[in-house]
Structure 1
């Protein structure tokens, strides 16, 4: 089980499901959102428990990004209706035990 939080601690999450496909995204949205590449893993929507005031931003017609409204930490990315949630590996407390499997949007 993985636990994580935003910088200020207002938003916390617990990954209760099995995360998969850890990847680093190099797309322009992720670079602008994070200031660099964004590393995330995927879990089913029912495999993550989120507590606290997440603010959602519609970053495209298909997807949204979740962040802490107090400190601005970017925590989640979700394709609407997918039943999945990406969570930021950098927000996990301690070692994730995961290894990046791929880099996407590198060209």
Structure 2
């Protein structure tokens, strides 16, 4: 099991089982909502238990996706693919150790012009 929380602790979560390898999403929406790029892991909705749900603010960023933030401290926590059986959980919100390593970068065609991706991981433009 893996645990995590927002910065202020108003929202805590548990994920049963091992975490999938996270990816780094460089799309405009992820960069604007986090201030850089979002590294997250996809978790089956049935494996994710959240406490403090009343403190989550959901922003509907598209027809298919909503993003979950803490109302109190603003932490980016969730990328909820509404019509899928998984939710992306921000890696920075997990307690250590996560025992994972990033396996790829996505939407690199939209990455910021102020940084380079030089870690040798696969880069998908979309």
d(CA) in 2 for partners of 1:18, 1:50: 17
When normalised by structure 2's length, the TM-score is 0.81
Maintained 8 Å contact 1:17/1:43? no
d(CA) in 1 for partners of 2:89, 2:51: 14
Structure with larger Rg:
2
Q: Greater relative contact order: 1 or 2 (C-alpha under 8 angstroms, separation 6 or more)?
A: 1
d(CA) in 2 for partners of 1:36, 1:26: 8
Question: Where do 5+ consecutive residues of structure 1 fail to align?
Answer: none
Kindly provide the CA deviation profile for residues 73-95 of structure 1, in whole angstroms up to 9, marking residues without a partner as x. Answer: 01000111211111000001112
d(CA) in 1 for partners of 2:14, 2:61: 24
Question: Where do 5+ consecutive residues of structure 2 fail to align?
Answer: 110-126
Q: Which structure dedicates a bigger proportion of its chain to strand?
A: 1
Which residue pairs with 1:80 in the alignment?
A: 82
Which residue pairs with 1:27 in the alignment?
A: 27
Which residue pairs with 1:105 in the alignment?
A: 107
Regions of 4+ moved over 3 Å: none
How many pairs align?
Answer: 107
d(CA) in 1 for partners of 2:65, 2:4: 22
SS of structure 2 residue aligned to 1:94? coil
